[in-house]
Structure 1
Amino acid sequence: MRPVFFGSVLGIGGLANGWRAVNRLWGITPVIGEAFAVAAFGLWLLWAVLYAGKWLLHPAEARRELDHPVQGLAAALAPVATLIASLCIGPHVTVLGWALFIGGAGGVLFYAAWSVGGLWQGGREAPAITPVLYLPTVGGGFVSALACATFGQPTLGWMFFGFGMFSWLSMESVFLTRLFQHGLPAEMRATLGIEFAPPVVACVAYLSLTPGTADHFALGLFGYGCFLALVLLRLVPWLRRQPFGPGAWAYTFGVSALPLAALKLVEQGAGTPIELLALPSFAAANAIIGWIAVRSLVRVGRFLRGASAPVAASG
Structure 2
Amino acid sequence: MHIPSWLLRFPVGLFAIPVGLLALGGAWRRATQFGWAWARDVGDLLAWSALAVLAVLLLIYLAKCLRHPQTIAAEFTHPLAGSLMALVPLSILLCIIYFGTPGHAGWLLLLLATLAMQGVIAIRIVAIITNASLPAGAVTPALYVPPVAGGYVGGMALQVLGYPGWAALLLGMGLVSWALLEIRVLNRLFEGAMPEALRPTIGLELAPATVGTLTVATLWPQLPGELLIIGLGIAAGPLVAVMARYKWWGHLPFAIGFWSFSFPVAAFAAVLIEVVYRGAWPPAVAAVGLALASVVIAFLALSTLRLLAQGRLIPTAPAPTAPRP
Provide TM-score, normalisation by structure 2: 0.86
Residue pair 1:44, 1:85 contacting (<8 A) in 2 also: no
Could you tell me which residue of structure 2 aligns to residue 310 of structure 1?
Answer: none
**Higher relative contact order structure (alpha carbons within 8 Å, sequence separation ≥ 6):** 2
How far apart are residue 234 of structure 1 and its match?
5.4
Is 2:30 the counterpart of 1:21? yes
Cross-structure match for 1:36:
46
Alpha-carbon spacing, 1:91–1:33, altered in 2? closer, same or farther (3 Å): farther
8 Å Cα contact 1:41/1:89 also seen in 2: no
Deviates more, 1:60-69 or 1:33-42: 60-69
Match of 1:115 among 122, 125, 135: 125
Contact 2:159–2:167 (CA<8 Å) still a contact in 1? yes
Assess, with a 3 A threshold, how the Cα gap between structure 1 residues 99 and 48 changes in structure 2: closer, same or farther: farther
For residues 20-79 of structure 1, the C-alpha deviation after alignment (integer angstroms, 9 at most, x for no partner) is 111232323122111111111122222112111111011112222222232221111111
Distance 2:231 2:263 in 1: 16
**For the residues of structure 2 that align with 1:305 and 1:226, how far apart are their CA atoms?**
32
- SS of the residue corresponding to residue 260 of structure 1 reads helix
Which position in structure 1 is the counterpart of 2:198?
188
Offset of residue 96 of structure 1? 5.2
Aligned 8 A contact 1:4 1:77 in 2:
yes
- Contact 1:87 1:147 (8 Å CA) reproduced: yes
Q: In structure 1, how many angstroms separate the alpha carbons of the residues matched to 2:34 and 2:239?
A: 24
**Alpha-carbon separation, structure 1, partners of 2:107 and 2:125:** 26
Paired residue secondary structure (1:124)? coil
1:252 counterpart residue number = 262
Distance 1:165 1:32, change over 3 A: same
- Paired with 2:77 and 2:132, the residues of 1 have a C-alpha distance of 14
Are 2:317 and 1:285 aligned?
Answer: no
CA distance in 2, matches of 1:235, 1:185: 13
Residue of structure 2 equivalent to 1:9:
18
* RMSD (Å) for aligned C-alpha atoms: 2.5
1:114, CA displacement in angstroms?
A: 2.4
How far apart are 1:237 and its partner, in Å?
Answer: 4.2
1:169 and 1:45, CA in 2 relative to 1: closer, same or farther beyond 3 A? same
Aligned to 2:317: none
Q: Measured at CA, do residues 212 and 181 of structure 1 come closer, stay the same or move farther in structure 2, by a change above 3 Å?
A: same
Q: Which runs of 5+ in 1 are unaligned?
A: 307-315
Q: Which has the higher helix share?
A: 1
Partners of 1:148 and 1:154 within 8 A in 2: yes
Per the alignment, do residues 128 and 258 of structure 1 end up closer, same or farther by CA in structure 2, a change over 3 Å counting?
same
Aligned: 1:77 with 2:125:
no
1:303 has 2:311 as partner: yes
Q: CA deviation at 1:115?
A: 2.2
Corresponding pairs, count: 304
Asked if structure 1 preserves the Cα contact closer than 8 Å seen for 2:186 and 2:241, the reply is no
Identity rate of aligned residues, in percent? 24
CA distance in 2, matches of 1:234, 1:222: 18
Name the structure 2 match of 1:169: 179
Partner secondary structure for residue 70 of structure 1: helix
Structure 2's unaligned 5+ residue stretches are 1-9, 315-325
Cα deviation for residue 298 of structure 1 reads 1.1
Helix, strand or coil: the match of 1:121?
coil
Correspondence 1:149 to 2:159: yes
Moved more, 154-163 or 110-119: 110-119
